[in-house]
């Protein structure tokens, strides 16, 4: 073996060892955060409606596996009490029925069908980044869920990896004090560093606000590339609550903003897998982007056979 080949082998081995150590460390961190899920008594819930809800949206059946993994993560890591509803909104066009609804229910979601908010003509196949963004204005229904005092929206390609109950206990009171209707996380790194990401939204619902948003969708000026994200960034600008970056850590952040990631990697609360987790080369892509520890956490949750336990009296 030539000296060059020998050196390459050593580099490869060292890289593999470092990767393994990093993954093992992150797994041990996440394992320590797990808690045993409680039984939730939904009969008792009828005698006192929930004040808060965690909501996700599925516009096609392709999102069922992702939402189920998100649901498992909420069971194990989020520290959310049973008093907070967990709602999976599905559209009629999603064709999610039967066993798919059971899968969502087993992961802790209460499935509700909602009407799709149709995009205006200027949001179409030619003006969005990918076609899957076209129906995502339906996400704006959360602003009209006035049966709740507050709603935490999470994209289905997210997982909780730590305590997110603090968003309701700590962030929400601060939002109310400042008279803000929404909290979200700023994009970190890349070409979108000046905007906010709509994967996580902490919202104080308001019928008047929802009505005005619908007017803005039809008549306002906004970037259509990411549909709902363009709408909300143009509508709210910098006027809403800037939530800590730990609550929406996207796959690109370790590569695009290493300084930020190194400062929060041991306390990531929500991982937003902007790479498709069901792709056969998912982990390879994540290693390239230095996000392999987070992606492995998604894979581990996906493989777990756990179910949400409902106690009925």
Q: Which two tokens stand for residue 21?
A: 């150590």
pLDDT at 163: 96
d(CA 110, CA 147): 15
Mean pLDDT over 237-249 rounds to 94
pLDDT tens-place string over residues 202-228: 999 999 999 999 999 888 776 666 677
Measured between alpha carbons, how far is residue 308 from residues 65, 168, 289 in Å?
15, 22, 33
Q: Which two tokens stand for residue 290?
A: 């230095």
Residue 242 has pLDDT above 80, yes or no: yes
d(CA 178, CA 80): 24
Domain 34-311 has CATH 3.30.590.20: no
pLDDT tens-place string over residues 171-186: 999 999 999 999 999 9
pLDDT higher for 197 or 44?
A: 197
As beta bridge partners, residue 22 has none
Is 67:90 a contact under the CB 8 Å cutoff?
Answer: no
User: Which residues does 231 contact at the CB level (< 8 Å), separation at least 6?
Assistant: 137, 140, 213, 216, 217, 220, 222
Mean pLDDT over 109-138 rounds to 74
Q: DSSP letter at 295? A: H
pLDDT at 248: 97
d(CA 180, CA 189): 25
d(CA 308, CA 75): 7
d(CA 28, CA 201): 29
């Amino acid at each position: 073996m030539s000296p060059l080949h020998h050196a390459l082998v050593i580099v490869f081995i060292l890289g593999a060892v470092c990767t393994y150590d990093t993954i093992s460390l992150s797994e041990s961190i996440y394992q320590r955060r797990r808690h045993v899920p409680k039984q939730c008594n939904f009969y008792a819930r009828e005698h006192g409606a929930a004040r808060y809800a965690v909501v996700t949206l599925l516009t096609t059946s392709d999102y069922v596996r992702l939402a189920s993994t998100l649901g498992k993560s909420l069971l194990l890591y989020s520290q959310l009490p049973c008093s907070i509803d967990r709602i999976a909104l599905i559209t009629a066009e999603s064709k999610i029925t039967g066993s798919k609804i059971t899968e969502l229910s087993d992961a802790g979601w209460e499935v509700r069908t909602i009407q799709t908010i149709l995009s205006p003509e200027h949001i179409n196949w030619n003006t969005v980044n990918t076609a899957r963004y076209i129906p995502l204005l339906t996400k704006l229904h959360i602003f009209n869920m006035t049966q709740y005092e507050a709603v935490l929206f999470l994209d289905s390609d997210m997982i909780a990896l730590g305590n997110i109950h603090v968003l309701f206990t700590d962030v929400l009171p601060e939002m109310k004090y400042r008279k803000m209707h929404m909290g979200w996380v700023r994009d970190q790194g890349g070409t979108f560093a000046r905007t906010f990401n709509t994967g996580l939204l902490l919202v104080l619902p308001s019928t008047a606000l929802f009505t005005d948003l619908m007017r803005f969708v039809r008549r306002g000026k906004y970037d259509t590339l990411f549909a709902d994200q363009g709408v909300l960034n143009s509508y709210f600008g910098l006027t809403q609550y800037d939530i800590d970056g730990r609550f929406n850590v996207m796959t690109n952040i370790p590569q695009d903003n290493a300084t930020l990631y190194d400062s929060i990697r041991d306390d990531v609360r929500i991982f937003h897998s902007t790479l498709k987790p069901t792709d056969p080369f998912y982990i390879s892509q994540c290693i390239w982007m230095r996000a392999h520890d987070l992606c492995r956490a998604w894979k581990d949750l996906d493989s777990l056979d756990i179910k949400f336990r409902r106690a009925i009296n």
